[in-house]
Amino acid sequence: MSHKDFWRKTAIIISVAILLIALVALEPSHVQERASVIGMGIDKEGEEFELSVQVIVPTGGSSDVQQTDYKGVISAKGVNFSDAINNLSTITGRKLLLMHCSVVIIGKSMDDDNILEFIDYIMRTNRINDSAYLMRATISAKELFSLQSTMDSYTAMALQKSSLEHISRGNTISINIMHYTKFTKEIGNCAVIPTIIPVEVAKPQGGLQGGESGEENKEYLFNAEQSGVYKNGKFLCSMDKQQTKGYNWIIAKEKLNDGAIETENVGVKVKRRKSDWKITFDENGNPDVNIDVKLDIEIEEKDTLNESFFYNLNDDLKVKLQNLVKEDINSLLRLVKEQNADIIGVGIRMHKLYFKEFKKLYNNYGDNYLEHVNFNVNVEVEKKH
């Protein structure tokens, strides 16, 4: 190596080292210029939209793990969604990272057209993860995020935990932004969104601490056992707890390895669920939808005179459990026919597998084809060994 080449390579190495040192030195300041949005809510205020976010702000620190500072709920208005987001950044003085958002709340004041517009904006911009949970609130999204919860100090995380808890019991429906868009376009043009209802938790007796007001001291749990049905993006009807459970028994993927059958004296866990449904046609060309649900269950203990023991699955209990699940499903199917809401996708399945028969059915009855569908439900319950 020549003397000239040696000094050239040495200069390059020194330059790279200086650059790396500068980047490391600047990193905390860059981190501190950002804020991660963990929850977002949208409301309509007159002609403007109000966007409320719950954020976590990195504060740097000497440790390898970045410490965080909780900044609560921040709101900003705008004539459109993009304007509201930009105004939020102006208020915080930081760049908002939306890809960490896990919950999107639709406030009570948002009408159907606004919801479609908002979801479309999210899907077009790709600024928010399309796996974020989508929920509808019975109050404003801003007010919902301001509530304190016993489940987590971050309301957005509490809402997510509440949804997951209800999903595990089969009492709610999980839908994210991507699902909503897909269902609205494909499965009977219907989507189902869980409805969040805040429930105040009773406080221990003894009064409030000094300096605390009653409103600030209240804590809430979030009930997600009801849902709203949206057809072509427009609100159609509500689903109660039983109808929501019926939907889960035959549709929801989350219940493959979890769930429960609620009874008065017996605790029943569903360890595995297999659901399937097939379509046949009668002599008049009307479809019969045959729904089969098979459940492997685990029977928990019963407390009688402080004695706990495990149940065997006798014939009477088996019939009782099968009838409970069957009635959940039939409750949903009655709603499907009454509201003409094809939330289980009968039309799309017929269109794919039996196009000739579906074309004839649709030509005869149009969008009212569900009135001429006959549903048959069969439920089998077996104890897991």
Burial of 11: CB neighbours in 10 Å, binned 0-12, 13-18, 19+: exposed
Q: Decide: 320 and 262 in contact? Cβ < 8 Å.
A: no
How confident is the model at residue 140, as a pLDDT?
93
How confident is the model at residue 200, as a pLDDT?
87
How confident is the model at residue 8, as a pLDDT?
61
Burial 184-216 (b: 16+ CB within 10 A, else e): beebbbbbbbbbbebeeeeeeeeeeeeeeeeee
**If phi over 0 gives left and psi between -120 and 50 gives alpha, with beta otherwise, what is residue 163?**
alpha
238 phi and psi, to 5 degrees? -105, 150
Q: Decide: 184 and 175 in contact? Cβ < 8 Å.
A: no
Q: In CATH, which of 3.30.300.210, 1.20.1300.10, 1.20.810.10, 3.40.50.620 is domain 252-385?
A: 3.30.300.210
Q: Give the C-alpha separation, 139 to 136, whole Å.
A: 9
Residues facing residue 277 across a β-bridge = 291
Q: Decide: 142 and 50 in contact? Cβ < 8 Å.
A: yes
Q: Show the tokens assigned to 228.
A: 């709203």
Q: Give the C-alpha separation, 276 to 250, whole Å.
A: 7
> To which residue do tokens 């023991």 refer?
309
Per-residue pLDDT in tens (0 to 9) along the chain, 385 residues:
565 565 665 666 666 566 555 544 444 444 457 778 889 999 998 889 999 998 887 665 444 444 445 557 889 999 988 888 888 888 877 788 888 888 889 999 888 778 878 877 877 776 777 778 888 899 999 999 888 888 888 888 888 887 776 655 555 566 677 777 666 666 567 778 888 888 888 665 554 444 444 555 788 888 877 888 888 778 888 898 889 888 888 875 544 445 667 766 667 778 788 888 899 988 888 899 999 999 888 776 555 444 444 556 777 888 888 999 999 999 999 999 999 888 888 888 888 899 888 888 888 888 888 888 999 999 998 887 5
Q: pTM of this prediction?
A: 0.72
198 phi and psi, to 5 degrees? -75, 135
How confident is the model at residue 298, as a pLDDT?
79
